[in-house]
Amino acid sequence: MLCGAIPTALAGLVQTANGLIALRFFIGILGATFVPCQVWCTGFFDKNVVGTANALAGGWGNAGGGIVFVMPAVFDSLVNSRGLSAHVAWRVAFIVPFILITAVAIAMLLLCEDTPTGKWSERHLVIQGKSTSSSLPPESLFTEQVVNALTFDSSLLQQESLSSEKKEPPQPTTPVPEKEHYQLESAVPEPEADIVTTALGEVVVNPTLREALSVIFSPQSLALAASYACSFGAELVIDSNIGSYYYKNFPVLGQTGSGNWAAMFGLLNVVFRPAGGLVSDYIYQHTHSVWAKKLWLLFLGVVAGVFELAIGLSNPRTESVMFGLMAGLAFFMEAANGANFSVVPHVHPYANGFANPA
């Protein structure tokens, strides 16, 4: 965000078309913040509610594309209230997003934890109070090592007990019925051990290149990428063209009116995207089936495709019909975005964002 804020502030200095294209390229860095945002959220929430959390964060984030009418408002204010010329006002207006982006970035650095366990470098410390002295090994196959390190080996304890009996004289003891003999247990109680093992399997590790490639090109990853390309990818295409489409079909709206109506498509992310994740979580909580989540995602994608066909084939010339169909498309397409990220944590959870341990 800090890197992307710099070209945003410099937008007002552009003098040529090539300069604007180059600047837009570097501002595109800001779009990449969406990916670590979703990885970050996934690390904080359980699979039962992660769809709602990711969809809410992503939906409210995408709403930034739906409030683009704020910039024309800033521009108008600079022209009408500050007396700036239009040539100067649009350049000065870019100071506003620069301030907002920088403020959010600094707030994240100062106020936000990297992971539920604190620093990113300490993300392996999943057993609070039991392994706070040092980080657990970051290797992709560390789970078994950690569990072994955190639990006592029964056979070793038995051997140690036998050796100590040889060195010390036997002490009188009260006989204990056979069925009341204890088996040596791990230092972590069994239920907690299960939780620990599950948590360890979800800690992001530092894989080798070969392991990373196997995750990236696995059928599960490719299937999710395809569904996301058909939902969020399609939304990006629509966001880029919907304003011109409205203006062509309804010239009476004018450029500003067409732009404002186009912004509504992105603004609906505030409601519709979280709804997709919320329903997905609700289904999962009652079925405990990842397949149920996938069927919900498939349903949303198919219905969104039906709305796209309806809009493209009918090419509405009536505002009520056009905006009604676009609202229906927004619901199913944006809900599919949220539902997609409710499935992500079930696929290679230990590789939900590759990174070095430091």
pLDDT in tens, 266-303: 888 888 888 888 899 899 989 989 999 999 999 999 99
**What is the pLDDT, as a whole number, of residue 316?**
93
Q: What sections of the chain are H helices per DSSP?
A: 2-9, 17-27, 34-44, 50-62, 70-80, 86-93, 95-111, 142-150, 154-167, 190-200, 209-216, 219-228, 234-249, 254-267, 269-287, 290-314, 319-343
**What is the pLDDT, as a whole number, of residue 321?**
94
Closest CA to 5 of 104, 77, 71: 104
pLDDT < 70 regions, the chain: 63-69, 123-205, 353-358
- Taking the model in full, what pTM does it have? 0.64
271 φ, ψ (degrees, to nearest 5): -105, -50
3-state class of 35 per DSSP? Answer: helix
Q: What angle do CA 71, 75, 81 make, to 5 degrees?
A: 135
Distance CA 38, CA 322 (A): 32
**What is the pLDDT, as a whole number, of residue 81?**
82
Where do we find the tokens 């490719």? 222
**What is the pLDDT, as a whole number, of residue 88?**
85
318 φ, ψ (degrees, to nearest 5): -110, 130
3-state class of 203 per DSSP? Answer: coil
**What is the pLDDT, as a whole number, of residue 147?**
40
DSSP assigned state of 115: B
